[in-house]
């Protein structure tokens, strides 16, 4: 058994009131891992509170306890915190509201991002894993936990999400073997695929249309698209409805990688990167903008607003001001 797994289990055994935190703008991996933990820890008689600074999207309402995520809590009420799928403590979004969040009680950090900065008391970080739910699956298996059908569905949803419906390059033998085992345990793959892949509103489709219409390929063979506040208004859509469209931009044959730049209506510019190119490490590119992630899927967020003059080539980064410089 991994020593990190042993250390994590020891902290869990000692704790009674546990806070499980998902990263901001939650996806199926962070939510699936969090809910799976709540189900299992509840069976052990633990009191578990789920927290996320942003309300989960309605597309995740197939997950148990979907409506129980809180954005406020009293830190003194807990003796252990488990953070899932967050590469840095600021990714939780709670670091400003609760400055002592990572200083007061033990923290188990379960994550698969190569850029993880090991902020936990125990850091179960495995960058080779396709999803955080795969790591959690391995931990539960090592601990001889009986994974029921609800837990299995939660774990599979994270795998399905982070492998891009089993289409990304991280879809390996491990992914298929674990997914197969979860299905034998009762995971509802049809429910997962329906909600995560086959569930798009008209506003989402219109917004994706804007993102695809705005796509250009640069002289450096990079596919880029920019989505502005105007595009949101035209589509009557919200920024979180952009989730998933980057994978379509990444389908252009022969391109080095795909970039999607958009505003989040909170005073920030967000960038998403995807590639199928084995020679490109996007986490290093994202790091130039203060972001991070995986070698084939990364992103960043910086304060700012897009100017009306749309451009399609990044020519420089001013890290001191956290600003982007664009040119036509």
Q: 213: domain CATH number?
A: 3.10.310.30
pLDDT in tens, 194-206: 988 877 889 999 9
pLDDT grade for 265, boundaries at 50, 70 and 90: confident
One domain, residues 152 and 296: no
pLDDT grade for 318, boundaries at 50, 70 and 90: very low
Which pLDDT value is given to residue 200? 85
269 Cβ contact partners less than 8 Å away, ≥ 6 residues apart = 261, 262, 263, 301, 302, 303, 304, 305, 306, 324
270 Cβ contact partners less than 8 Å away, ≥ 6 residues apart = 239, 261, 262, 263, 264, 299, 300, 301
Which pLDDT value is given to residue 312? 45
One domain, residues 103 and 158: yes
Cβ(26)–Cβ(11) below 8 Å: no
Domain end marker among 176, 196, 216: 196
pLDDT in tens, 241-258: 898 899 999 999 989 999
One domain, residues 132 and 107: yes
One domain, residues 136 and 254: no
One domain, residues 277 and 291: yes
Most confident of 52-66, 275-289, 300-314: 52-66
Question: Does the pLDDT of residue 317 top 90, yes or no?
Answer: no
- The residue among 120 and 265 whose pLDDT is bigger is 120
Region 109-131 average pLDDT: 94
84 Cβ contact partners less than 8 Å away, ≥ 6 residues apart = 20, 21, 22, 23, 30, 33, 34, 37, 110, 111, 132, 136
One domain, residues 89 and 110: yes
Angle subtended at Cα 242 by Cα 220 and Cα 309, rounded to the nearest 5 degrees:
50
One domain, residues 189 and 212: no
Which pLDDT value is given to residue 33? 98
Among 298, 262, 260, which residue's Cα sits nearest to residue 280? Answer: 298
Cβ(86)–Cβ(56) below 8 Å: no
Among 139, 107, 106, 122, which residue's Cα sits nearest to residue 40? Answer: 139
One domain, residues 252 and 180: no
Which pLDDT value is given to residue 308? 55
Helix (H, G, I), strand (E, B) or coil at 306: coil
Cβ(250)–Cβ(215) below 8 Å: no
Domain end marker among 196, 215, 249: 196
User: Which of 59-68, 118-127, 292-301 has the weakest average pLDDT?
Assistant: 292-301
CATH number at residue 111: 3.90.1640.10
Six-digit token pair at 323? 């600003």
Which pLDDT value is given to residue 326? 44
One domain, residues 40 and 187: yes
pLDDT in tens, 41-81: 999 999 999 999 999 988 899 999 999 999 999 999 999 99
The DSSP 8-state label assigned to residue 18 in this structure reads E
Total domains in the chain come to: 2
8 lies in which domain range? 3-196
pLDDT grade for 168, boundaries at 50, 70 and 90: confident
One domain, residues 129 and 221: no
Most confident of 176-190, 235-249, 308-322: 176-190
One domain, residues 210 and 127: no
Which pLDDT value is given to residue 146? 97
Place of tokens 């406020």: 72
Six-digit token pair at 165? 């419906």
Place of tokens 């590639």: 275
Among 191, 178, 235, which residue's Cα sits nearest to residue 28? Answer: 191
One domain, residues 86 and 210: no
Domain end marker among 196, 229, 251: 196
Report d(CA 68, CA 80) in Å as an integer. 19
């Amino acid at each position: 058994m991994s020593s990190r797994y042993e250390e994590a289990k020891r902290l869990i055994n000692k704790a009674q009131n546990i806070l499980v935190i998902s990263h901001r703008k939650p996806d199926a991996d962070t939510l699936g891992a969090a809910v799976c933990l709540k189900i299992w820890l509840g069976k052990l008689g633990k009191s578990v509170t789920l927290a996320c600074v942003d309300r989960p999207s309605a597309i995740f309402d197939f997950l148990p306890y979907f409506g129980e995520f809180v954005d406020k809590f009293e830190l003194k009420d807990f003796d252990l915190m488990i953070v899932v799928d967050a590469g840095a403590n600021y990714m939780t979004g709670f670091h400003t509201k609760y400055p002592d969040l990572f200083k007061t009680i033990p923290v188990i950090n379960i994550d698969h991002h190569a850029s993880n900065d090991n902020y936990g008391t125990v850091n179960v970080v495995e960058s080779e894993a396709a999803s955080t739910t795969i790591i959690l699956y391995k931990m539960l298996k090592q601990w001889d936990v009986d994974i029921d059908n609800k837990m299995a569905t939660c774990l599979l949803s994270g795998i399905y999400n982070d492998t891009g419906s089993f289409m990304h390059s991280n879809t390996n033998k491990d992914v298929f073997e674990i997914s197969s085992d979860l299905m034998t345990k009762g995971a509802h793959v049809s429910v997962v695929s329906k909600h995560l892949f086959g569930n798009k509103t008209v506003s989402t489709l219109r917004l994706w249309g804007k993102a695809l219409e705005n796509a250009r390929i640069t002289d450096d063979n990079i596919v880029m698209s920019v989505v502005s506040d105007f595009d949101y208004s035209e589509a009557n859509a919200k920024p979180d409805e952009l989730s998933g469209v980057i994978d379509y931009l990444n389908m252009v044959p022969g391109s080095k990688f795909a970039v999607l730049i958009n505003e989040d209506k909170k005073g920030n510019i967000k960038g998403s990167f995807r590639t199928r190119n084995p020679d490109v490490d996007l986490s290093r590119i994202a790091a130039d903008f203060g972001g991070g992630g995986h070698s084939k899927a990364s992103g960043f967020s910086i304060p700012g607003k897009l100017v009306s003059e749309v451009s399609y080539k990044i020519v420089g980064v001013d890290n001191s001001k956290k600003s982007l410089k664009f040119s036509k």
